[in-house]
Structure 1
Amino acid sequence: MPTTITGTAAGVPFTALPPADNGPAPLIVTWHMLDAPRTDAAFAAALPMHGLPAWRVHLGMPMCGARMVDGSTDAIVELFTKDPVMAYLYPFVRQASEEFPAALASLREQFPVGDGPIGVLGGSLGGAVALRVLAESETPIFAGAVVNAAIKMRSVVELFPGDYPYDAESEKAVDSLDFVAKADVLAERGPLLVVNGELDHPALRADAADLVGAIGDKAELRSIPGLAHALADEPGLEPAPQQPHARAVDEVLTEWFGRHLPVR
């Protein structure tokens, strides 16, 4: 089996997969789902992109993996039960994206990835992190990809039971995470692949199509037959054998990033 490296980068836990020769290569950074697979290690097992001549570093989301409270997801459940927007969705995306620059600087010190453009990938809520990095950071990006992503946070909120009681603060928070509205900015960044499951939530599929349509030629949409939202079986905390639908996503991602890797 290929080498797996674990560690932390500016306090952010990661699971890294090196290229075959363990040598200098471009860097791809990912953020995992909060559905299964819901840790960096489990996401690396679901979407390893083996054979890609790049370092793939899977960062842990807040309160996940090595940062779980008391080794469980109970604290996260408590947060989204309390307030799915202001205690869970918005602060998780904000923290993960805001801690990224320091984590990236640390990864550049730990691995032979150079200082050139990177690739970014996110799944579900991690997709919102990848899109925020694309839209708001100054980090050079050679290509991005998202899978079953939280593209418009209002659509994600509607998946929770009941009617969410928006106020001015929460309206501002969800509007800041509407990436269809940021399509013009995203179009100026690297090419973007939007992958969704044929059986994912209809609203998320509609958002994916809207985003690609709004970006235009710089974006591609790929639908995976038979795929729902999750990429692994529950509980999705530990590395597990790759499921067939995840393998199909993995193949699409490997081809996409391979096509756009910088020439070294």
Structure 2
Amino acid sequence: MRIAEREVVEGVAAGVPFVAVPPGEEAASAGVVAGWHLMDAPASERAMAAALPMAELTAWRVYFGLPLSGTRLPEGGYDEVFRRASEDAVLNIYAPVTAQAADEFPAAVAELRERLGADGPLGVFGGSAGAAVALEVLARGDAPIAAGAVVSPVVQLAPLIAANERRFAVTYSWSERSRAAAARLDFVARAAELTAPLLLVVGSDDDIAIREPAAALAARLGDRAELVTVESMAHELPPGTPDAVRVDAAFSEWFARRLRG
């Protein structure tokens, strides 16, 4: 069923919770930009919609909920997520969340395009762990995607695990399975699979585990990518902050250029 009025829509599509915000102005054939939130702030689909509204974009903005986050926290909430992460952050959190969200995407976005009457160009975006999902979706190529944009992106998982070891004073025990999962989530090595134009936004104050892989991916992609560094920005994007406003402007300008026609 198509949406009769241009209003924010919340619900579930193909089992995936979402918030969908209509185009800033009427469009005969509106496109869609769909993305995933961070596991840090903003850590839900509603919070991501508040942080990166892209209000003037002539496209539907769709914010999907990540598995194990937001409205899909497991029984026990964040305590249970932290427990699973302490047992094996790669195999219990990062790898399954990325794989599940990417697996869900084709059916969820197809259902939403029909429901919203949005048959224009498609873009994807994400932040941190949600950025890894966007990169995985781009690499798989299950749907024609005009462009992608990521912020504070997890471009390589192994450096992020090392950063978490430093941050939490723990030691992660790598196994053959977790090394294979981390190799799968190494988008510098998989750069040839990323054929759509890609915007990478990083904060100058973010960890080197985020900044260096993003720069390496941009260099590998060449003219298929743009790298933007936001001065004094760290990793998180709380809604309403100057950092969120700057990232929102960068995403809006990028998608406005790339989704035309």
TM score, norm. by length of structure 2: 0.92
Instruction: Work out the CA distance in 2 between the residues paired with 1:217 and 1:248.
Output: 23
The structure 2 residue matched to 1:98, chosen from 98, 103, 117, is 103
Q: Aligned in 2, Cα 1:180/1:67: closer, same or farther, shift over 3 Å?
A: same
Report if aligned partners of 1:118, 1:140 keep a CA contact under 8 Å in 2: yes
Amino acid at match of 2:178: S
Spell out, residue by residue over 1:138-173, the C-alpha distance to the aligned partner (whole angstroms, 9 max, x if none). Answer: 211111011000000101111223232111111110
Amino acid at match of 2:193: V
1:82 aligns to what?
Answer: 87
2:189 aligns to what?
Answer: 181
Amino acid at match of 2:46: A
Instruction: Work out the CA distance in 1 between the residues paired with 2:76 and 2:202.
Output: 30
The structure 2 residue matched to 1:260, chosen from 250, 258, 261, is 258
1:238 aligns to what?
Answer: none
Instruction: Work out the CA distance in 1 between the residues paired with 2:178 and 2:68.
Output: 21
The structure 2 residue matched to 1:34, chosen from 33, 36, 39, is 39
State the SS of the aligned residue for 2:202: strand
State the SS of the aligned residue for 2:163: coil
Amino acid at match of 1:119: G
2:196 aligns to what?
Answer: 190
Instruction: Work out the CA distance in 2 between the residues paired with 1:258 and 1:105.
Output: 22
**In angstroms, what is the RMSD of aligned CA positions?**
1.5
State the SS of the aligned residue for 2:43: coil
1:214 aligns to what?
Answer: 220
Does structure 1 residue 69 correspond to structure 2 residue 85?
A: no
2:3 aligns to what?
Answer: none
Amino acid at match of 1:146: V
Report if aligned partners of 1:117, 1:139 keep a CA contact under 8 Å in 2: no
Q: CA deviation at 1:137?
A: 2.7
The structure 2 residue matched to 1:226, chosen from 220, 224, 232, is 232
Instruction: Work out the CA distance in 2 between the residues paired with 1:10 and 1:4.
Output: 18
State the SS of the aligned residue for 2:84: helix
Report if aligned partners of 1:212, 1:220 keep a CA contact under 8 Å in 2: yes
Amino acid at match of 1:59: F
Instruction: Work out the CA distance in 1 between the residues paired with 2:76 and 2:260.
Output: 39
State the SS of the aligned residue for 1:33: coil
Q: CA deviation at 1:258?
A: 0.4
Spell out, residue by residue over 1:61-90, the C-alpha distance to the aligned partner (whole angstroms, 9 max, x if none). Answer: 002222223583222112111211111111
Instruction: Work out the CA distance in 2 between the residues paired with 1:20 and 1:193.
Output: 22
Report if aligned partners of 2:121, 2:259 keep a CA contact under 8 Å in 1: no
User: Percent sequence identity over matched residues?
Assistant: 43
Report if aligned partners of 1:142, 1:262 keep a CA contact under 8 Å in 2: no
Instruction: Work out the CA distance in 2 between the residues paired with 1:9 and 1:177.
Output: 26
Instruction: Work out the CA distance in 1 between the residues paired with 2:24 and 2:256.
Output: 14
Q: For structure 2, which runs of at least 5 residues remain unmatched after alignment?
A: 1-5
Q: CA deviation at 1:22?
A: 5.6
Spell out, residue by residue over 1:157-213, the C-alpha distance to the aligned partner (whole angstroms, 9 max, x if none). Answer: 112232321111111100000000011221xx2210000011011121011100000
Does structure 1 residue 109 correspond to structure 2 residue 118?
A: no
The structure 2 residue matched to 1:250, chosen from 248, 251, 256, is 248
Instruction: Work out the CA distance in 1 between the residues paired with 2:17 and 2:11.
Output: 6
Instruction: Work out the CA distance in 1 between the residues paired with 2:240 and 2:227.
Output: 23
State the SS of the aligned residue for 1:256: helix
Does structure 1 residue 167 correspond to structure 2 residue 175?
A: yes
Q: CA deviation at 1:4?
A: 2.5
Amino acid at match of 2:241: Q
1:118 aligns to what?
Answer: 122
